[in-house]
Structure 1
Amino acid sequence: MPVTRIMVREGWCDADLQTLSETLHEVLVAEFSVPPTDRFQIIETLPATRFIYDRHYLSGGRSDRYVLFSLVAGKSRTTAQKRAFYRVLSERLQQRLNLDPDDVMVVIQQTSAEEWSFSRGEMFDLSMIK
């Protein structure tokens, strides 16, 4: 049940943003144990003056096509799952959008079930999943 914010600089076309979204979801399902119908994404396109990042910090160099994926996840994943998720996402974005792997950054934040309310003002409980 991750919620993901996808942040990019202005200038991306709708078709490429859709590819970012579709690719992310495909890899979440395949590598991160996310159910196919569990999809919550926010895509933000920001002017350069509002999307500020170090072009070289722990990277070979970020371009204007830099993408930041910020995931909030409600259950923990293994190190192997996370490693595979990062790798496959980067590979598929390179294949589908010619996105340099240095332009892909992912941050995962972990929360517990009680920190989620999906609707009706009710705290999430695992027994809610049928």
Structure 2
Amino acid sequence: MPMTRIAIPEQRFTLWRDAISRALQQTLVSSFDIPETDCFQLFDRYQPEERIFDRHYLSGSEQGRSEDFLLFQITAGRPRGPEEKQKLYLKLVELLEQSIGIKPQDVMVVITFTQPEDWSFGSGKLFKVSDIPRP
């Protein structure tokens, strides 16, 4: 049940949105073991003057970040261990590099985990793990 906000440069939104969405969903399904239809994504588009970020802080590259910098803020329910998180980070960067040609240093991911009661999927109902549909 992850929900992701993706900060994207305005000038890349139309060209990249669908590929980013597919890469993210494929990554979440394979790395976090979520159902394929469990997809909640919000794209936040920014003009260059609306984005301030350190081009070199822990970017993993001497070149640093470019104007193509993407920030993924993933809010998820069940906590995942370091191995699952690392798998997600590597798979997402790999798929984005393949699909849109973005450099790995231009992809930043922040993951936050919540408790089931922190979610209401609609109708004012408190979410319970037992609500998850089982095949």
Relative to the length of structure 1, the TM-score reads: 0.96
Matched with 1:75 is 78
Aligned length: 130
Gap regions ≥5 residues in structure 1 = none
Relative to the length of structure 2, the TM-score reads: 0.92
Gap regions ≥5 residues in structure 2 = none
Matched with 2:50 is 50
User: 1:78, CA displacement in angstroms?
Assistant: 1.7
Matched with 2:24 is 24
Give 1:9's aligned amino acid. Answer: P
Measured in 2, the distance between the counterparts of 1:35 and 1:108 equals 18
Decide whether the 8 Å contact of 1:72 with 1:108 is kept in 2. Answer: yes
Decide whether the 8 Å contact of 2:116 with 2:129 is kept in 1. Answer: yes
4+ long deviations beyond 6 Å: none
Q: Does residue 94 of structure 2 align to residue 85 of structure 1?
A: no
Matched with 1:124 is 127
User: 1:13, CA displacement in angstroms?
Assistant: 4.6
User: 1:15, CA displacement in angstroms?
Assistant: 3.6
Q: Does residue 71 of structure 2 align to residue 65 of structure 1?
A: no
Give 2:21's aligned amino acid. Answer: S
Measured in 2, the distance between the counterparts of 1:110 and 1:11 equals 31
Matches within 5 A, 1:87-126: 87-126=90-129
Give secondary structure in 2 for the equivalent of 1:105.
strand
Measured in 2, the distance between the counterparts of 1:39 and 1:13 equals 18
Query: 1:40-95 CA distances to partner (integer Å, 9 max, x unpaired)?
Result: 00011101122211111101200010000000011111211110000011011111
Measured in 1, the distance between the counterparts of 2:23 and 2:51 equals 22
Decide whether the 8 Å contact of 2:13 with 2:45 is kept in 1. Answer: no
Measured in 2, the distance between the counterparts of 1:96 and 1:87 equals 14
User: 1:32, CA displacement in angstroms?
Assistant: 1.2
Measured in 2, the distance between the counterparts of 1:15 and 1:9 equals 11
Give 2:85's aligned amino acid. Answer: K
